[in-house]
């Protein structure tokens, strides 16, 4: 395989990851004089803040996903390639991917994060994460399948395991999925499963710390906890999950909860990159960057968004910026300007995050919002949450569909998306994935000369 990029005299910017930061950077580099190459493992941009609504069958997966090729149609000097990055070879300005090598003049890592299981391999194998659209669809299928099996199983113990839901992690994703599943139990199950007592379904939200949403004000955390408890969610604070065995979540204090729906949203970790030494990683496997988002030790490798950490560079955030969409968007926009400045021989400008506020929703008419000097909760915060997220979604069609779904669900809760669909891969795709997985990359790179590497990375590039 090969990238098959056209011959050009323009400098090439390779962006790894099409999330909020990578997408903003690619858009801002329009008509910049660079050849821009976007590399992502998926062929679409996804909107993570609404992924929990896919898991609870509230909206369609396509409503929060938008194809890269649609976004960048008719864009000159822009190329998208669907691939996974395996290794970086800074001395040769080359990255190795699942489809081959490509040379870069500037490399920007914006691949985001993955679920953090904190080294517990057994929980990683057993729990259901909810970090992307694919995982959310898998969780949705598991939930609906468990409801169907609960109607037909013979034993009471198995029925209780099928109906109990345990969510680990009291951050934004945890409280949002807990609230959505509570509404599903209260409004959807009585309609779809009239012969299944809703009183049998119990939702547990477990947080290792003393309060939910620890990044927000303590008063805001109290409002969130009150909302969830009023909705029937069992909130367990100061409880740590240590294992999962025989369909039971094991807590550190020795207690356990029976469940076959074990959801893990307890933390995130940055995506690691091959050939990048441990000295380049900080807290949460995030790549350490300076105030210009430049990876320490390299002049032409940058990292933005959740994948990076900027310790001690921004006086307002000495421990690093929060892993929020706005941070990635602002870093992507500034880096585009800085890359243009570099080409003009001008000094780059340091990154300073402008905090636009934090929001989270628990359910219908229940949300919290914090700004510099204002804290809100309840209906008005919920309306503001709806407006902000609706504006952020790509595509007019997607905005209209989601707005219609929200309006319809607000009055009826009669959404017709609760279908169990397991995708089957074609034989050709399965065989291709096996071939790529069995290929050993990088061993030839270290022994070849730079000229030979350049030819192999991109035979059509000058």
366 close to 378: Cβ distance less than 8 angstroms: yes
Which structure tokens are listed for 29? Answer: 């580099």
Count other Cβ atoms within 10 Å, centred on residue 357: 15
Whether the CB-CB separation of 265 and 167 falls below 8 Å is answered with yes
The predicted pLDDT at position 441 comes to 56
Q: CA 188, 194, 197 angle in degrees (round to 5)?
A: 90
> What's the pLDDT at 414?
64
**What is the rounded (10 degree) CA torsion for 203, 49, 210, 183?**
-30
pLDDT at 431: 82
In residues, how long is the chain?
462
**Residue 329 token pair:** 């968007």
3-state DSSP assignment of residue 451: helix
Cα–Cα dist 136/55, whole Å: 5
pLDDT at 383: 92
| Alpha-carbon torsion, ordered 310, 312, 313, 317, to 10 deg | 80
- The pLDDT of residue 396 is 84
Domains detected in the chain:
12-41+83-115+269-356+427-451 (3.50.50.60), 121-266 (3.50.50.100)
Q: Evaluate whether 288 touches 295 at the Cβ level (below 8 Å).
A: yes
Distance between CA 397 and CA 390 in Å, rounded? 11
For the chain, 462 residues long, give each residue's pLDDT as a single digit of tens: 678 898 889 999 999 999 999 999 999 999 899 999 999 999 999 999 999 989 988 888 888 899 999 999 989 999 999 999 999 999 999 999 999 999 999 999 999 999 999 989 999 999 999 999 999 999 999 999 999 999 998 889 999 999 999 999 999 999 999 999 999 898 888 888 898 888 899 999 999 999 999 989 999 999 999 999 999 999 999 999 999 999 999 999 999 999 999 999 998 999 999 888 889 999 999 999 999 999 988 999 999 999 999 987 777 888 899 999 999 999 999 999 999 999 999 999 999 999 888 999 998 899 999 988 889 999 999 999 999 988 888 888 888 888 887 887 777 766 666 778 777 778 887 887 787 777 655 544 544 444 455 555 555 544
Distance CA 89, CA 103 (A): 10
- The pLDDT, as a whole number, for residue 187 is 87
Task: Provide the pLDDT for residue 460.
Answer: 52
Measured CA to CA, the distance from residue 96 to residue 101 in angstroms comes to 5
Instruction: Give the integer Cα–Cα distance in Å for 63 and 158.
Output: 35
Number of Cβ atoms within 10 Å of the Cβ of 128: 18
Contact 185, 203 (CB under 8 A): yes
Cα–Cα nearest to 358, from 319, 396, 394, 389: 389
């Amino acid at each position: 395989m090969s990238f098959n990029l056209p011959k050009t005299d323009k400098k090439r910017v390779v962006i790894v990851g099409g999330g909020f930061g990578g997408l903003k950077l690619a858009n801002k580099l329009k008509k910049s004089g660079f050849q821009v190459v976007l590399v992502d493992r998926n062929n679409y941009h996804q909107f993570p803040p609404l992924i929990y609504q896919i898991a609870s069958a509230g909206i369609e997966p396509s409503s929060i996903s938008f194809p890269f090729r649609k976004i960048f149609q008719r864009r000159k000097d822009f190329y998208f390639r669907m691939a996974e990055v395996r290794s970086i070879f800074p001395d040769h300005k080359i990255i190795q991917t699942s489809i081959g090598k490509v040379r870069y003049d500037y490399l920007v890592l914006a691949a985001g994060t993955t679920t953090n299981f904190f080294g517990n391999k057994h929980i990683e194998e057993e729990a259901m994460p909810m970090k992307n659209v694919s995982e959310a669809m898998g969780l949705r299928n598991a939930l609906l399948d468990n409801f169907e099996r609960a109607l037909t199983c013979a034993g009471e113990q198995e029925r209780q395991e099928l109906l109990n839901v345990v969510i680990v992690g009291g951050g934004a994703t945890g409280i949002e999925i807990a609230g959505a599943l509570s509404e599903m139990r209260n409004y959807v199950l009585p309609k779809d499963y009239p012969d299944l007592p809703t009183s049998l379904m119990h939702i547990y939200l477990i947080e290792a710390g003393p309060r939910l949403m620890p990044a927000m004000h303590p008063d805001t955390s109290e409002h969130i906890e009150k909302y969830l408890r009023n909705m029937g969610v069992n909130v367990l604070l100061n409880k740590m999950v240590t294992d999962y065995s025989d369909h039971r979540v094991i807590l550190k204090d020795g207690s356990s909860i029976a469940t076959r729906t074990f959801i893990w949203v307890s933390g995130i970790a940055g995506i690691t990159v091959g050939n990048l030494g441990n000295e380049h990683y900080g807290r949460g496997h995030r790549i350490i960057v300076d105030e210009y988002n430049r990876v320490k030790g390299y002049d032409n490798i940058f990292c933005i968004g959740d994948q990076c950490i900027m310790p001690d560079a921004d006086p307002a955030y000495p421990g690093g910026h929060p892993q929020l969409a706005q941070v990635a968007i602002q870093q992507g926009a500034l880096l585009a300007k800085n890359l243009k400045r570099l080409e003009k021989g001008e000094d780059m400008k340091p990154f300073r995050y402008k905090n636009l506020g934090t929001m989270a929703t628990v359910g219908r008419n229940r949300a919290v919002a914090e700004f510099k000097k204002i804290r809100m909760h309840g209906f008005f915060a919920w309306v503001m949450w709806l407006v902000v997220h609706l504006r952020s979604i790509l595509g007019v069609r997607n905005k209209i569909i989601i707005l219609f779904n929200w309006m319809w669900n607000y009055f009826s809760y009669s959404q017709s998306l609760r279908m169990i669909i397991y995708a089957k891969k074609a034989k050709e795709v399965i065989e291709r994935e096996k071939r790529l997985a069995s290929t050993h990359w990088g061993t030839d790179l270290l022994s070849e000369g730079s000229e030979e590497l350049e030819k192999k990375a991109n035979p059509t590039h000058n």
